[in-house]
Amino acid sequence: GQNIDQPTEMTATEGAIVQINCTYQTSGFNGLFWYQQHAGEAPTFLSYNVLDGLEEKGRFSSFLSRSKGYSYLLLKELQMKDSASYLCAVKRGANNLFFGTGTRLTVIP
Amino acid sequence: GAVVSQHPSRVICKSGTSVKIECRSLDFQATTMFWYRQFPKKSLMLMATSNEGSKATYEQGVEKDKFLINHASLTLSTLTVTSAHPEDSSFYICSASGTSGRLEQYFGPGTRLTVT
pLDDT at B41: 76
What's the pLDDT score for residue A70?
Answer: 96
**Contact yes or no for B34 and A96 at CB 8 A:** yes
Residue A97 contacts B, CB cutoff 8 Å: yes
| CA distances in angstroms from B7 to B11, B24, B91, listed in the order given | 9, 9, 12
Indicate the DSSP class of residue B81. Answer: E
pLDDT in tens, A78-94: 999 999 999 999 988 77
Beta carbons of A109 and A83 less than 8 angstroms apart: no
User: Most B CBs within 10 Å: which of A99, A103, A105, as the mutation test of the B interface?
Assistant: A99
Q: pLDDT by residue (tens digit) across B61-76?
A: 999 999 999 988 889 9
Q: Is the pLDDT of residue B40 over 90?
A: no
User: Tell me, what's the pLDDT at A32?
Assistant: 94
Closest CB from A42, A95, A101 relative to B93: A42
Listed range (A16-20, B20-24, B42-46) with the worst mean pLDDT: B42-46
**Whole-number Å distance between alpha carbons of B73 and B96:** 12
Task: Give the chain A residue whose CA is nearest to the CA of B60.
Answer: A1
Q: Cβ neighbours of residue A15 under 8 Å, at least 6 residues apart? A: A77, A78
End-to-end CA distance of chain A: 40
pLDDT band at B101 (very low <50, low <70, confident <90, very high): low
| Set of chain A residues whose Cβ sits within 8 Å of the Cβ of B101 | none
On whether any CB of chain A is under 8 Å from the CB of B109, the answer is yes
Report whether B7 contacts B22 (CB < 8 A).
Answer: yes
- Residues in B closer than 8 angstroms to A96, CB to CB, are 34, 46, 49
What is the tens place of the pLDDT at every residue in A7-63?
999 999 999 999 999 999 988 888 999 999 998 888 888 999 999 999 998 999 999
Distance from CA of B23 to the nearest CA of A (A): 13
User: What is the mean pLDDT of the segment spanning B83-107?
Assistant: 84
Q: Is the dihedral of CA B75, B79, A26, B44 positive or negative?
A: positive
Q: Are B96 and B23 spatial neighbours (Cβ–Cβ below 8 Å)?
A: yes
Please give the pLDDT value at position A93: 77
